[in-house]
Amino acid sequence: MLLGLTSGCGARELAAPPQSQSPSAPATHRSVPRPPQLSRAEPVLWVGLEDHLGSHPAAMPLRLVSAGAPLTLEDAAGRSWKAASFTLRWESVALPNPLTLARRIAGPFASFESAERLAQRWRALGVTASVAHPNEWEVWAPQGSIAPEGTPIRDWTRRVHATVEPTLESPEGLQRIKGPLQITAPDGLRWNRGVFRGPFRLQRDAYGSWTLIEQVAVERYLEGVVPHEIGASSPVAALEAQTVLARTWALANSHRFNIDGYHLCSDTQCQVYSDPRLAGAAVRQAIAATRGRLLSRAGRPISAVYHATNGGVMAAGPEAWAMQPQPYLVAKIDGDEGWSQRHAIPLQQRQTVSSLLIDRSGAYGAQHPLFRWSRLITADEIRQSIGAPAQALQSPLQLNALQRGTSGRVLALQIAGADAAEPVVLRLDRIRRTLRRLPSTLFVIEPQGLDRWLIRGGGFGHGAGLSQAGAIDLAWRGWSTERILTHYYPGTIYGPLTGGVQSP
């Protein structure tokens, strides 16, 4: 499926990309080798199980516990240890030559997609720009780089005098060990209330802390993803569609953590990945039935985004994130003939959105509990969610949908005060990331007196691509896996990839 090096415990590490524009400029961050490119025959993902470990010497120890036979730990100096469990602590070690780091930073961004869009604009100017995730998504570029027009930038410089290194707890005391570390677990490693097969790595990231990584074949990775993304009791065609999308998404996003030397994380910033043993017979059958199949366009995996329910109307990609339009992520009414006759694109007027939200008959996925929802929010809640930028706004506040997309979703939400202070405007995915009680951006606002609003909405998630509730509904109606995928991603090809994929 993919071209490149074969991943695995013994995979060769690729050279890290240059991090400065000139030999004399300081580096933007601690250099970390890129993860191996994915192989054609059996792609193996490097998945971060836990990041930012050992962020300071007093950070919590890392405990590794076997699920059966003893673990084997090997460090970069070739030393090895075998035990049922290991405890690693952290130690500050002075650098023989202090290191100066300097960078230009854009962000934070609410998602990788928005950060990557800005990074692409920066790269178009000839600048080496990297997406990073120290806490929130940011874009880093070398000191002195020209910035994309209209982009707020802050400059950051630090002189690094020490590094945090792992030490191994042993009967003889703490032993300093040299990373990266390789961990093998014949019967698996107990982690996060589950068991993972591995092999594993503990390696440094771009921030000076460490990440525990599992090296897992894509098909086994799906066993740990699909049960958590769609119910295992879903009909076969829906399970298979979700499996194809999880595989496609993983391969298309394998560059997500390049700066930190691995492919994907295991939480909601990627796809939730946990104990693969939880996959039941139906999930395993769906993985086997679709093995090696994904959605592609122009010979590359698509951006296979998906969500819980779209409320009866699909969103275009740029309605969710600051991304280039894609012909397979389009605004489209999602329901039977009657539903489509009553509601038509575009839905950019408040009244047309309100009419859709009081209806549900004939919409695909209408059985989902968040297909329709309402939330009462107050000015105090808004101020607490936004933080400092909202403190200058005098009450009573005004809440306005400044702009709607073709699907009716709010693209820009303005919070204004009673005075002349500059309003706060939340855009795209930052609306839900900030006002976390809102399940989607498909909503209308109804004032309930001073500093109180009833938000009536539909759907759960960004609304682009496949609606999981819709896929389940269509599968029960007898639609095939391919028909469901073609419905939600028009113009894509379902099947094995004929060419190769290289991470950006």
pLDDT tens string 316-343 = 999 998 888 999 999 999 999 999 999 9
Mean pLDDT calculated for residue range 16-31: 67
Q: What is the pLDDT of residue 10?
A: 33
Contact 45, 263 (CB under 8 A): yes
- Residue whose entry in the numeric block shows the structure tokens 């740029």: 318
Tokens of 202: 């503990």
Mean pLDDT calculated for residue range 115-126: 95
Neighbours of 130 (CB within 10 A): 22
Tokens of 87: 């405890």
pLDDT in tens, 290-306: 999 999 999 899 999 99
CA angle 458, 375, 383 (to 5 degrees): 120
Q: What is the pLDDT of residue 13?
A: 32
Q: How far is CA 56 from CA 89, 179, 192, 206, in A?
A: 10, 16, 22, 14
- Look at residue 20 and tell me whether its pLDDT is greater than 60: no
What is the overall mean pLDDT for the chain? 92
Tokens of 192: 């996060």
- Look at residue 501 and tell me whether its pLDDT is greater than 90: no
Mean pLDDT calculated for residue range 225-237: 89
Neighbours of 417 (CB within 10 A): 18
Q: What is the pLDDT of residue 195?
A: 97
Q: How far apart are CA 125 and CA 116, in angstroms?
A: 14
Q: How far apart are CA 84 and CA 346, in angstroms?
A: 61
Q: How far apart are CA 181 and CA 197, in angstroms?
A: 16
First to last CA, the chain: 17
Q: What is the pLDDT of residue 230?
A: 87
Label residue 24 by pLDDT band (50, 70, 90). Answer: low
Contact 455, 370 (CB under 8 A): no
Q: What is the pLDDT of residue 364?
A: 98
Kindly report the pTM of this predicted structure.
0.88
Label residue 252 by pLDDT band (50, 70, 90). Answer: very high
pLDDT in tens, 457-495: 999 999 999 999 999 999 999 999 999 999 999 999 999
Label residue 65 by pLDDT band (50, 70, 90). Answer: very high
Q: What is the pLDDT of residue 499?
A: 56
Mean pLDDT calculated for residue range 267-272: 92
Label residue 500 by pLDDT band (50, 70, 90). Answer: low
Strand partners, 226: none
Q: In 1-156, where does DSSP find H-type helix?
A: 112-123
- Between 16 and 210, residue with greater pLDDT: 210
Q: What is the pLDDT of residue 4?
A: 31
Label residue 498 by pLDDT band (50, 70, 90). Answer: low
pLDDT in tens, 383-398: 999 998 888 899 999 9
pLDDT in tens, 199-226: 999 999 999 999 999 999 999 999 999 9
Label residue 183 by pLDDT band (50, 70, 90). Answer: very high
pLDDT in tens, 337-375: 999 999 999 999 999 999 999 999 999 999 999 999 999
- Residue whose entry in the numeric block shows the structure tokens 């001073």: 450
pLDDT in tens, 429-464: 899 999 999 999 999 999 999 999 999 999 999 999
- Look at residue 15 and tell me whether its pLDDT is greater than 60: no
The residues near 125 (Cβ < 8 Å, ≥ 6 apart) are 145, 146, 148
Contact 354, 374 (CB under 8 A): no
Tokens of 100: 């100066």
Q: What CA dihedral angle connects 201, 202, 205 and 207, to 10 degrees?
A: 170
